[in-house]
Structure 1
Amino acid sequence: MYALTNATIMTITQGTIEHGTILFDKGKITAIGTDVAIPEGATVIDATGKTITPGFVDAHCHTGIFSDGIGWDHADGNEMTDPVTPHLRALDALNPDDIAWPELVANGITTVLTGPGSANVIGGMWICVKTQPKSTVDQMILLEPAGMKMALGENPRRVYGGQKRLPSTRMGNAAVLRNALYEAQNFLKKQEKYEEDLAEYEKKTADGDKEAKQPTEPERNLKMEALVRVIKRELKARIHAHRADDIITAIRICEEFNLDYTIEHCTEGYKIADILAEKKVPVTVGPALMSRPKFEMRGMTPKNPGILAKAGVKVAIQTDEMSGVKFLAINAALAAREGMPVEEALKAITINAAEIIGVADRVGSLEVGKDADLVVLPGHPLDFLSAPEMVFIDGERVL
């Protein structure tokens, strides 16, 4: 049990508490306030002059999938042999021994959504993990699967156009995505028909009908079984789209199939902020700390998150990185410098990110009952000179 006392506590969802105490035990926050009774036996840390925030959350990265400092041998994020691979699982590629994890912890990042790259129109399933290095991936999992990676724009058309295969155009991207979703709908109908027939068969046999014929179960299809979860809105479609027209294509297709979805990168989202706000489309914006490596990123601007947030769009800030996730707070600080309200910039790397991932019941804010993931800093969390002095994950001090 820990008690951190006399701190400025930025809860994110319930305001900022001055001269406050936060108490946590067995991995969970048990009390927050200015008048907290500290049980006997608790480890008390005087945090006078310090700021405590929730652990930071990156809503889109590739840590552990594209391993740092190794190169192609451990670049496991793009299965460039088939543009439709929904059955792939980031779980099966993530390296818990990646050298990036301690760097993330040291910079206050405690939760990340990591997953496949964008070579394929449908790339596979994301995984959300805590960043404290463990012996196995399974010990790091917060949510798995955590959405389905999809991609529009340049990457799939470049990969498969180079192979003289579909898709080689933006039309091809959309057609491949639609076709896969229609196949999943048809597969679901067959499954539902089989279940209806099986229930009828079991009823007849229970009533003594000896001539009832048992229906034939449809053959397993891992691709379609994974996509059916998207069709049924059990998994979010997380769609990589930079250009405004690609974002609109993503919206169009998701509305056709009534999908639960997010827009990833959303580089030109500021051009259509009113549409994104009207349709209540959550977005993860970034990366910001890079040049413009592709034509579709020519419209990149650090003002994008602020424009979107002011329009009423729910925004998370992402790094799209591996070890570079450690610069998440700097990305948020840049967004704040370029017009995003500071409170919204903090939400973009805490509660908004957690909500967009689907783990806000556990992380993203400092509230009683949530995981004790928190960062202790000497100053404001968006101050570049304010480096974490302590980090806790699941109530365990890891820095």
Structure 2
Amino acid sequence: MLIIHANIKTMESQDYPNGYLKIQDGKITELGDMKDLDVQETDSLDVKGALVLPGLIDAHSHIGMWENGLGFEGDDGNEETDPLTPQLRAIDAVNPMDYCFEEARQAGITTVLTGPGSANPISGSWCAMKTCGRRIDDMLLSEQVGMKFALGENPKGVYHGKGETPMTRMGTAALIREELHKAKRYLDDQKRAKKDPDIDPPDYDAKSEALIPVLKRKMKAFFHAHRADDIFTALRIAKEFKLDCVIVHATEGYKIADILAGEKVPVIAGPVLCDRSKPELRDMSIENTAILRKHHVETAICTDHPVIPIQYLGLSAGICVKAGLPYEEALRMLTIVPAKICGIDRRVGSIKKGKDADLLIISDDPLNVYSRPDYVILNGNIVVNNIEKGN
């Protein structure tokens, strides 16, 4: 496929206001300025000056975990029978044929991170996946991109109602530490047994096995934290165990933006389109991302779907622009920044030779509520075509 007369924003070092882009076998094989294109193929797609962006990325959602239009039958996001469930995997719960994946594609979202919720202090591993397909195994960018930890109000509320630990913030942090210590000891015992044949290896422990990649920094530690004090607890635990930490939500991040900048910890901020539905959200501000960016905190924007329906990711970024976030930074927070934060930028997040051909092609402002894509291309295939439909 050859795309011509495109206003290409690559999210790399060079853009092409009147550019072309070649795609083969689902990958970007060539891009440049139209004046440098020698031959225009007969089957080229002329987008007539439309903006071409990398496919958008929602770095924190629960798409496919809480299914569209269903109650308990489609609720597979929280295993509330045990506060410590690192052995759970999102890939075993996501329904990739949930209609919300279609809504994501229609909004130009080609990659999502999804996984279990924040009922448990440790709830399980998240995956990064494309938004088009029928079998999740064929849609994955990363089967286990990160481990979900949760602090603050959510685990407290769940287990207070059961009369079980954790009922306090202290209890939540203590359980996380205890499980990480167990996993570290389990890993040390494995190493000793491997070196000395006279030492028996430890009995298999699914929870510890699941946390080993986190301890080895091969898997991100995604910490759900809204309040500033909970963010500091996440940083404290991450330092103790040398974890590759990402703060998710960071509702009060703007209060401590200078400290977060000093810690060099990235943030996945959101949801933005949200009411103050619980105490931890009472100081929520749409200026959060603008302030974080001003202090050079690496920040992505998310919907937390189904809290905010995933198709409003672009609108969420538009609201952040209204509150002072520079427009170009908003686009980066939906593309290359979440890709880098989540460690999937080798394949997605920018338009570059060798990367996946995931593209949003749009003649209007992608952050405008009235806009819709002309085309969405995913893995080199046109999955949305509103021009052909006459929309």
Identify the residue that residue 89 of structure 2 maps to in structure 1.
Answer: 89
For residues 197 and 49 of structure 1, the distance between their equivalents in structure 2, rounded to whole angstroms, comes to 66
1:231-270 alignment runs, 5 A limit: 231-270=215-254
Bigger drift between 26-35 and 36-45 goes to 36-45
- Contact 1:23–1:38, Cα closer than 8 Å, also in 2: no
- Residue 5 of structure 1 aligns to a residue whose secondary structure is strand
Change in 2 beyond 3 A, CA 1:135/1:42: farther
- Contact 2:2–2:41, Cα closer than 8 Å, also in 1: no
Identify the residue that residue 147 of structure 1 maps to in structure 2.
Answer: 146
Say whether 1:158 aligns with 2:157: yes
For residues 354 and 170 of structure 2, the distance between their equivalents in structure 1, rounded to whole angstroms, comes to 48
Say whether 1:365 aligns with 2:364: no
- Residue 43 of structure 1 aligns to a residue whose secondary structure is coil
TM-score by length of 2: 0.95
Identify the residue that residue 332 of structure 2 maps to in structure 1.
Answer: 347
- Residue 262 of structure 1 aligns to a residue whose secondary structure is strand
- Contact 2:148–2:222, Cα closer than 8 Å, also in 1: yes
- Residue 52 of structure 2 aligns to a residue whose secondary structure is strand
Identify the residue that residue 26 of structure 1 maps to in structure 2.
Answer: 25
For residues 258 and 165 of structure 2, the distance between their equivalents in structure 1, rounded to whole angstroms, comes to 33
Which structure has the greater CA radius of gyration? Answer: 1
Identify the residue that residue 208 of structure 1 maps to in structure 2.
Answer: none
For residues 287 and 258 of structure 1, the distance between their equivalents in structure 2, rounded to whole angstroms, comes to 28
Deviation of 1:353 after TM superposition, in Å, equals 0.7
- Residue 44 of structure 2 aligns to a residue whose secondary structure is strand
For residues 13 and 365 of structure 2, the distance between their equivalents in structure 1, rounded to whole angstroms, comes to 17
Say whether 1:137 aligns with 2:152: no
For residues 82 and 31 of structure 2, the distance between their equivalents in structure 1, rounded to whole angstroms, comes to 51
1:168 corresponds to which letter in structure 2? M
- Contact 1:3–1:42, Cα closer than 8 Å, also in 2: no
Identify the residue that residue 180 of structure 1 maps to in structure 2.
Answer: 179
Deviation of 1:41 after TM superposition, in Å, equals 5.6
Cα deviation, 1:10-44, whole Å, max 9, x if unaligned, reads 11122431111111111111111114546676630
2:141 corresponds to which letter in structure 1? L
Bigger drift between 11-20 and 86-95 goes to 11-20
Say whether 1:126 aligns with 2:132: no
Change in 2 beyond 3 A, CA 1:342/1:154: same
Identify the residue that residue 389 of structure 2 maps to in structure 1.
Answer: none
1:1-399 alignment runs, 5 A limit: 2-34=1-33, 35-37=35-37, 43-132=43-132, 134-198=133-197, 214-322=198-306, 324-399=309-384
- Count of aligned pairs: 382
Change in 2 beyond 3 A, CA 1:7/1:195: same
Change in 2 beyond 3 A, CA 1:239/1:38: farther
- Residue 339 of structure 1 aligns to a residue whose secondary structure is coil
For residues 151 and 36 of structure 1, the distance between their equivalents in structure 2, rounded to whole angstroms, comes to 51
Deviation of 1:216 after TM superposition, in Å, equals 2.2
For residues 303 and 39 of structure 2, the distance between their equivalents in structure 1, rounded to whole angstroms, comes to 40
2:220 corresponds to which letter in structure 1? K
1:117 corresponds to which letter in structure 2? G
- Contact 1:268–1:300, Cα closer than 8 Å, also in 2: yes
Deviation of 1:49 after TM superposition, in Å, equals 2.9
Bigger drift between 110-119 and 337-346 goes to 337-346
Identify the residue that residue 388 of structure 2 maps to in structure 1.
Answer: none
For residues 158 and 6 of structure 1, the distance between their equivalents in structure 2, rounded to whole angstroms, comes to 54
- Contact 1:19–1:48, Cα closer than 8 Å, also in 2: no
Cα deviation, 1:158-189, whole Å, max 9, x if unaligned, reads 11111111100111111111111111111111
Bigger drift between 219-228 and 42-51 goes to 42-51
TM-score by length of 1: 0.93
- Residue 300 of structure 1 aligns to a residue whose secondary structure is coil
For residues 11 and 27 of structure 1, the distance between their equivalents in structure 2, rounded to whole angstroms, comes to 17
- Residue 366 of structure 1 aligns to a residue whose secondary structure is coil
For residues 78 and 36 of structure 1, the distance between their equivalents in structure 2, rounded to whole angstroms, comes to 53
Identity in percent: 46
For residues 329 and 277 of structure 2, the distance between their equivalents in structure 1, rounded to whole angstroms, comes to 28
Cα deviation, 1:328-374, whole Å, max 9, x if unaligned, reads 11111111110111111111100001111110010001111110000
Runs of at least 5 residues in structure 1 that lack an aligned partner in the other structure: 199-213
For residues 16 and 299 of structure 1, the distance between their equivalents in structure 2, rounded to whole angstroms, comes to 38
Alpha-carbon RMSD across the aligned residues, in angstroms, is 1.3
- Residue 398 of structure 1 aligns to a residue whose secondary structure is strand
Deviation of 1:386 after TM superposition, in Å, equals 2.5
The runs of at least 4 consecutive aligned structure 1 residues that moved more than 6 Å come to none
Bigger drift between 17-26 and 262-271 goes to 17-26
- Contact 1:12–1:347, Cα closer than 8 Å, also in 2: yes
Deviation of 1:287 after TM superposition, in Å, equals 0.3
For residues 289 and 124 of structure 1, the distance between their equivalents in structure 2, rounded to whole angstroms, comes to 26
For residues 223 and 236 of structure 2, the distance between their equivalents in structure 1, rounded to whole angstroms, comes to 12
Runs of at least 5 residues in structure 2 that lack an aligned partner in the other structure: 385-391
- Contact 2:89–2:125, Cα closer than 8 Å, also in 1: yes
